[in-house]
Chain A
C-alpha cells in the first residue's frame, strides 16, 4: 500500500481565518513533505520533516506553520493567508529522505483564499 491521504479535499477560507490541512500515511515512512502547486505550474517544495523534526523550510512565510505530531501525521496550519496563497497543497512521504527513496504523493488539498 502506497497511500497518502489528505483532508480536506477542498478548503475555502477568508484572510482572517485559521484552518489546518492534514496528511496521513501508514507506510512506516519517516520523511514527510509539503509542496505547493499554483495553477499551471510545477509543485514547489515548502517543508521537509525527517523523523518528526523540521529539516528543511524553503523560506516559507510564517503564516504557514507545519507540525508533525507523530511519524504518521503531518499538519499544515494556516493563518492570515492572502489570496495569492490559493493553490493545490500536496503532501508526500518517503521511507527516509535519501536519494534512493521514492516519494509518494497524496491527492492534495485545493485551497481557495477569499
Chain B
C-alpha cells in the first residue's frame, strides 16, 4: 500500500496560490497519485491525477517529483469556495481491483 502523508491543516489568503504537499515515498511504479477534495458534508470531488509527468487542468496543477516520492497540488488563485479537506491518494491494486484508500487529508482554509 502506498501510504501518503499530508499536513493536517494549511491556511491561504484569497487570491493567492495554495500549494498543498504530499509525501508518498512507498508509491510503486504503476500507482497513480490522485487528488480529491471534500467540502463539508458533500461527496469527494475529483481534482486531478498523475503518474510521472506534471499535469494541469482547469482546477489545478499537479507537480510530481522525479523520484515520485512526493507531489504538490497547486490551486493558482484560491477562493473562499476552495476551503475543503484535500486528499492525496495512491491509487492501488486490491485483489486485482483498484481501490482508493483515503488518508486524513489537509484541511485548507482560505481566508479573505
A residues engaging B (CB < 8 A)?
Answer: 2, 4, 6, 31, 33, 42-45, 48, 50, 55-56, 88, 90, 92, 97-108, 110
Within 8 A of A (CB), among B54-107: 87, 91-95, 97-105
Residue from the set B30, B44, B45 with the largest chain A CB neighbour count within 10 Å: B44
Q: How many residues of B are counted as interface, with CB atoms below 8 angstroms from the partner's CB atoms?
A: 27
Give the docked Cα–Cα distance between A107 and B102 (Å).
17
Smallest CB gap from A101: residue in B: B98
B residues near A107, Cβ cutoff 8 Å: 42-43
B residues near A100, Cβ cutoff 8 Å: 32
Q: Is there an interface contact between B103 and A42, defined as CB atoms closer than 8 Å? A: yes
Number of A-B contacts (CB under 8 A): 64
Q: Is there an interface contact between A88 and B41, defined as CB atoms closer than 8 Å? A: yes
Chain A at the B interface: mostly helix, strand, loop or mixed? Answer: strand
B residues engaging A (CB < 8 A)?
Answer: 30-32, 34, 36, 41-46, 49, 87, 91-95, 97-105
Q: Is there an interface contact between A99 and B98, defined as CB atoms closer than 8 Å? A: yes
Which of B30, B41, B46, B94 contacts A103, CB < 8 Å? B46
A residues near B100, Cβ cutoff 8 Å: 43, 45, 92, 103
Contacts A42-B103, A48-B97; A99 near B43 (Cβ below 8 A): no
Q: Is there an interface contact between B105 and A110, defined as CB atoms closer than 8 Å? A: no
A residues near B91, Cβ cutoff 8 Å: 99
Which of A45, A50, A56, A88 contacts B101, CB < 8 Å? A45
Least Cβ distance of A87 to chain B in Å?
12
Least Cβ distance of B105 to chain A in Å?
6
